[in-house]
Chains A and B, each alone.
Chain A
Amino acid sequence: MRSGPRAAVILRAAGLIASVALYAAVVSRPAQDATTAADRLGCVDAHAVGVQALMMAGLLAGWIFGETAVRWVTLAAQALLPWASDQRRRAYVRAVAFAAIAGGGAVNFLWVNPAVNLFIDVHRPLFVEASLLVYLMGVAGGAAWFLLLDWQGWLGFLVTPAMALMLVSAGVVGRGWC
């Protein structure tokens, strides 16, 4: 009877470690040097891939802590919609989850500008803040996927990067890889 919760804890810990490891790999010096070099040449795909990896790391963290996020979101919905039916509340929460996923995807347009990418690369505090923000957006996206699809929310790991990379590649067909 106790193996269920213990397994869940182990799974979460493993997921969190994997998430942090992926994050650390993306923001590591070698990876950053390579990205900055590509940005100096005006090539955006290296930066876009890095951002997507950060987003994926966040998605993983958001997904494994999805149950907690759902509890918090439910509490917030009860506070904001005290008179609404549960069904109506769920509809609003789902709409917010869709918005979080769509909003997270839309921000990818930001990384199609090599000047912005380079500016972020060379200003360390800004780079740290941007990395954290992207990771946080990933966490929000992961929680949103969990909210929409429960444990089937892992599908978000396929949809989110595919959507983002399609957006990026559509915007920079001629200036992807150098």
Chain B
Amino acid sequence: MAVLKCDLCGRESDRPLQAGGHTFCCHGCRELWGVLGDEGMAALRSGPEVINWEAVWEAGEADPGQQAAGHEVRTASLALSGLWCASCAQLIHHVVSRRPGVLGVRVDFAAARAEVAYDATVTGVAQLDDAIARLGYGAREGADMAPRGSDPVLLWRLGVAVFLTAVIMMFSVPIWSGYLPDLGPPARTALAVSLWALATPVVFWAGWPFLRGAAVSIRHALPTMDVLVAVGSVAAYAYSCVAVVTGGRYLYFDTAGMIVSFLLLGRNLELGARERVTRVLSLLAGMAEKSAWVVRDGVETQVAVAAVAVGDEVVVRPGQRVPVDGVVFEGESAVDESLLTGEPVAVTKAARDIVYAGTLNTYGRMVVRVTRASDDTVLGRTVLAMREAQARKGAWQRLADSVLRVFVPLVLGISALTFAVGYRFGHLGVGPALLRAIATLVIACPCALAVTTPLAVLAGSQRLGRRGVLLRRGDAVERAATVDTVLVDKTGTLTRGRMHVSDVFPDDPALLSQAAAVESGSEHPIAAAVVEAAGRRGLAIPAVEEFRALPGLGAQGRVGGRRVRVGAAAEALPPHLDRLRARWEAAGRTVLAVSRDDEVAGIMSVEDGVRPEAADAVARLAAMGVAVEMITGDAPGPAQAVAEAVGIAHWRARCRPDEKAGRVRALQEAGRRVAFVGDGVNDALALVQADLGLALATGADIAVEAGQLTLVHPDLRTLPEVLEASRETVATIRVNLWWALVYNVLALPAAALGFASPALAALAMVCSSALVLGNTLRLMGGVPWRMIRGVLAVVAFAAVLGVVAWQGV
């Protein structure tokens, strides 16, 4: 078998990959070449300040087996920056895994992180950082790098493009006015060369992402907008260069600059979407333990979580998060499972109870037998599912891609045809025929098509923003427009998420004040509700002695010489209290029993109030033809009570996070477009799985991060307004896209037949963009009038100044 050298990294490979006449040692190198192109690859190989392959490889292959034995094994979590696409992650993995002392590498492109296991006696974090830096990426242990959603380089490109284009347009006044030929040769040359000099960095530096994208697109035979943008801008630029040299009447440098500026603006507006996934995954990753104490041969040994196997026994100490899913084998504790359930109540765990990775062990020591390890845990599967969900493209982006897949080759074909027909049958000669073909490309360049979606989404987001809705993802509006089913979480979403005492029996102030005295020593939400109820009634809360919290059961203490205990009404109650308890529980309330000196003195119910506007919101959704369903991790009793109170006919109770997401998936598979509204950590997976995730800003951070939309004010009536506003926004996008297509259908033949003079082409482009802008501004409701008034005032003022100058007062 032939051994060939990789054209990118120089490694020898006996299984080389071939592409574009090059040889690559691996998929990562081939893909990296696909992104960088030949010039980029040559720059990488020749520029020691960017990458030094020899230095990277000089130490040779690592031998994990040898180095692991008897050495100090550590793991480093590195935050990465500068990743362009998945092949960058491949490249980092490829190189770092071969560093001496490196035992294993996992590079996560979505989260922009690398987990590296290494032998600390051979290498260190600084060396790993250095190796990655020599590949042209940033690496730092621990904290995240600067958000990728706000790429400073792309912003600089936009800034430079806008500034230079503004100057170009200012200098282009004589050209638009038709005075260029009237200028004397020196002035004309100076002006033309100045414009040329100003346009060059705009097209080739600011527009570099499009040129690179076009090169990749052409190489992979997948036409994208980058091709038209690149061809359009370069064609306008090339046409103008020829005109400068040959003394042509018109220059298109301003057109080239406008194309690049418009499209960079659109790209910058859309870039923020990628930031969100990094934040969510970082938050979830922070909840996963990196190591676990495994009992082997009676000895507790700390190992990496990845090395824990099903069947192992893991020790979980107080204050530590559970590293794996498993069954408690020994010990007892209260575990905070709010990560999964959303309920802020620690749950008592004893032998044979199930515990989940990421949940927090509060006070006891437990030994857990592993049932699911590593990525197979509920937490791990949540992270994986979120990554998969995030990888999907927005519907309108897919539509735009589909249109462009046809549009781009069509325009290129028409342009070629224009040249061929003009030259062969029109007897125009090579020069005029070529210029007509280039004009076709220039006039068809889809500026409006590129800006219409981000602009409309921006307008839509501003409209939603005034209603207290924040967009956390660019395609949220598009997603919201198609929603026909809404799934709502109960606790904290339909309810206030704040407990209050709803009934006390018997209605004895002394009973409530004694209960409040005991509960004042506890930080439990139910205890707070009891204390608040006593305070609301103006009762004095006596001092408590010998206070003792009973995790999962309640609390007890000595009040006024009597032993008082408040807690779950689990024990046998007198018949009249038992009947009352059953009735309250059926109404969805949590029932507490208050005992004095071990005798039940009374019971009280605690409940979470339904939001007053919830029923109205549900009714309005139903009126819009949107199906509403409630899904909760709570018990059936409270679930039914809340569903009936707000008018929801379909509900599901006792659902785990993956079951919530499963329900969303089932509805999606049945052809429904599903929105999920939630606030808890346990809702994160469903929020991501849904076509539209709406999180309440008052909820958990992860839920907020996972949703595409955030409701700043927990007013559920915003929900139907969001759907309505989104539908209008998407209708506007649709009109804008149609306009862009109609414009091109009219403009293309005009240019191909030679009717498109430079002034007409410029005017058509400006009119097209203005129409899109005006149509989009309608979305802003009352604001456009203020803006239009402002713009009209500015235009009128400018007109007055123009008249003053013309008349020479």
A32's partner among B191, B801, B808 (CB-CB below 8 A) is B808
Q: Return chain A residues, CB-CB under 8 Å to B809.
A: 24, 27-29
Most interface-central of A20, A80, A84, A131 (chain B CB within 10 A): A80
B177 within 8 A of A: yes
Closest to A110 in B: B171
Q: Return chain B residues, CB-CB under 8 Å to A126.
A: 173-174, 177, 179
Q: Return chain A residues, CB-CB under 8 Å to B291.
A: none
Contact A113 B187 (CB under 8 A): yes
Q: Return chain A residues, CB-CB under 8 Å to B170.
A: 107, 133
A124 within 8 A of B: yes
B416 within 8 A of A: no
Q: Find residues 154-209 in chain B having any chain A CB closer than 8 Å to their own CB.
A: 155, 158-159, 163, 167, 170, 173-174, 177, 179, 182-184, 186-187, 190-191
Q: Find residues 116-170 in chain A having any chain B CB closer than 8 Å to their own CB.
A: 116, 119, 123-133, 135-136
Most interface-central of A28, A79, A131 (chain B CB within 10 A): A79
Closest to B472 in A: A82
Contact A27 B179 (CB under 8 A): no
Question: With A and B bound together, what is the CA distance between A16 and B299 in angstroms?
Answer: 84
Contact B187 A119 (CB under 8 A): yes
Contact B155 A92 (CB under 8 A): yes
Q: Return chain A residues, CB-CB under 8 Å to B173.
A: 126, 129-130, 133
Question: With A and B bound together, what is the CA distance between A136 and B174 in angstroms?
Answer: 18
Choose the segment among B246-254, B268-276, B600-608, B628-636 that binds chain A (4+ C-beta atoms closer than 8 Å): B268-276
Q: Return chain A residues, CB-CB under 8 Å to B190.
A: 113, 116
Closest chain-A Cβ to B570's Cβ sits at a distance in Å of 49
Say whether, besides A126-B177, A133-B173, A103 and B163 are in contact (CB < 8 Å): yes
Contact A128 B163 (CB under 8 A): no
A81 within 8 A of B: yes
> Number of residues in B with C-beta < 8 Å to the partner?
35
B147 within 8 A of A: yes
Closest to A57 in B: B801
Q: Return chain A residues, CB-CB under 8 Å to B268.
A: 80
Say whether, besides A80-B269, A119-B182, A133-B170, A128 and B177 are in contact (CB < 8 Å): no
A80's partner among B158, B191, B801 (CB-CB below 8 A) is B158
* Interface 0/1 of B767-809, CB less than 8 Å to A: 0000000000000000000000000000000101110111011
Closest chain-B Cβ to A115's Cβ sits at a distance in Å of 5
Q: Return chain A residues, CB-CB under 8 Å to B182.
A: 119, 123
B409 within 8 A of A: no
Question: With A and B bound together, what is the CA distance between A83 and B183 in angstroms?
Answer: 48
* Interface 0/1 of A66-109, CB less than 8 Å to B: 00000000000001111110001000100110010001000100
Q: Return chain B residues, CB-CB under 8 Å to A23.
A: 801, 804-805
B150 within 8 A of A: yes
Closest chain-B Cβ to A91's Cβ sits at a distance in Å of 10
Closest chain-A Cβ to B24's Cβ sits at a distance in Å of 35
Contact B184 A115 (CB under 8 A): yes
Say whether, besides A28-B808, A116-B187, A83 and B149 are in contact (CB < 8 Å): yes
Closest to B158 in A: A80
Q: Return chain A residues, CB-CB under 8 Å to B159.
A: 92, 95-96, 99
Size class of the A contact interface (CB-based, 8 Å): 35 or more
Question: With A and B bound together, what is the CA distance between A132 and B804 in angstroms?
Answer: 10
B458 within 8 A of A: yes
Question: With A and B bound together, what is the CA distance between A32 and B804 in angstroms?
Answer: 12
Say whether, besides A29-B808, A115-B187, A132-B802, A81 and B155 are in contact (CB < 8 Å): yes
Say whether, besides A115-B186, A126-B174, A83 and B167 are in contact (CB < 8 Å): no
Closest chain-B Cβ to A114's Cβ sits at a distance in Å of 10
Contact B186 A82 (CB under 8 A): no
Q: Return chain B residues, CB-CB under 8 Å to A20.
A: 800-801, 804
Q: Find residues 191-232 in chain B having any chain A CB closer than 8 Å to their own CB.
A: 191
Contact A128 B167 (CB under 8 A): no
Say whether, besides A83-B272, A132-B798, A27 and B150 are in contact (CB < 8 Å): no
A83's partner among B150, B804, B806 (CB-CB below 8 A) is B150
Most interface-central of B159, B177, B275, B808 (chain A CB within 10 A): B808
Contact B163 A82 (CB under 8 A): no
Q: Return chain A residues, CB-CB under 8 Å to B275.
A: 83
Q: Return chain A residues, CB-CB under 8 Å to B186.
A: 115
Contact B808 A80 (CB under 8 A): no
Closest chain-A Cβ to B489's Cβ sits at a distance in Å of 26
Q: Return chain B residues, CB-CB under 8 Å to A95.
A: 159
Question: With A and B bound together, what is the CA distance between A23 and B802 in angstroms?
Answer: 10
Q: Find residues 70-88 in chain B having any chain A CB closer than 8 Å to their own CB.
A: none
Closest chain-B Cβ to A164's Cβ sits at a distance in Å of 16
Question: With A and B bound together, what is the CA distance between A126 and B177 in angstroms?
Answer: 8
Contact A128 B805 (CB under 8 A): yes
Question: With A and B bound together, what is the CA distance between A88 and B190 in angstroms?
Answer: 39
Contact B187 A107 (CB under 8 A): no
Contact A27 B187 (CB under 8 A): no
Q: Return chain B residues, CB-CB under 8 Å to A24.
A: 804, 809
Closest chain-B Cβ to A119's Cβ sits at a distance in Å of 6
Question: With A and B bound together, what is the CA distance between A92 and B268 in angstroms?
Answer: 14
Contact B806 A128 (CB under 8 A): yes
Question: With A and B bound together, what is the CA distance between A115 and B182 in angstroms?
Answer: 12
Q: Return chain B residues, CB-CB under 8 Å to A32.
A: 808
Closest to B190 in A: A113
Contact B150 A131 (CB under 8 A): no
B150's partner among A81, A115, A127 (CB-CB below 8 A) is A81
Question: With A and B bound together, what is the CA distance between A107 and B194 in angstroms?
Answer: 12
Question: With A and B bound together, what is the CA distance between A28 and B149 in angstroms?
Answer: 51
Q: Return chain B residues, CB-CB under 8 Å to A81.
A: 150, 155
Question: With A and B bound together, what is the CA distance between A113 and B808 in angstroms?
Answer: 23
Q: Return chain B residues, CB-CB under 8 Å to A135.
A: 801
Contact B187 A127 (CB under 8 A): no
Q: Return chain A residues, CB-CB under 8 Å to B801.
A: 20, 23, 131-132, 135
Say whether, besides A83-B272, A96-B159, A113-B187, A124 and B806 are in contact (CB < 8 Å): yes
Q: Return chain B residues, CB-CB under 8 Å to A28.
A: 808-809
Most interface-central of B155, B167, B800, B801 (chain A CB within 10 A): B801
Question: With A and B bound together, what is the CA distance between A79 and B474 in angstroms?
Answer: 12
Closest chain-B Cβ to A57's Cβ sits at a distance in Å of 9
Closest to B274 in A: A83
Contact A129 B458 (CB under 8 A): no
Closest chain-A Cβ to B163's Cβ sits at a distance in Å of 6
Instruction: Identify 14 new A-B residue pairs, CB closer than 8 A, beyond the known A23-B801, A103-B167.
Output: A20-B804, A24-B804, A27-B809, A80-B155, A81-B150, A81-B155, A84-B150, A115-B186, A123-B177, A123-B179, A123-B182, A124-B806, A126-B179, A127-B805
Can you list 28 pairs linking A and B with CB atoms under 8 Å apart?
A: A20-B804, A23-B801, A28-B809, A32-B808, A79-B269, A79-B458, A80-B158, A80-B265, A80-B269, A81-B150, A83-B147, A83-B272, A84-B147, A95-B159, A103-B167, A107-B167, A113-B190, A116-B187, A119-B179, A119-B184, A123-B179, A126-B174, A126-B177, A128-B802, A128-B805, A132-B798, A132-B805, A136-B798
**Hey, which bits of chain A sit against chain B, CB under 8 A?**
20, 23-24, 27-29, 32, 79-84, 88, 92, 95-96, 99, 103, 107, 113, 115-116, 119, 123-133, 135-136
> Which 3 A-B pairs rank lowest in CB-CB distance, beginning with the nearest?
A29-B808, A27-B805, A83-B149
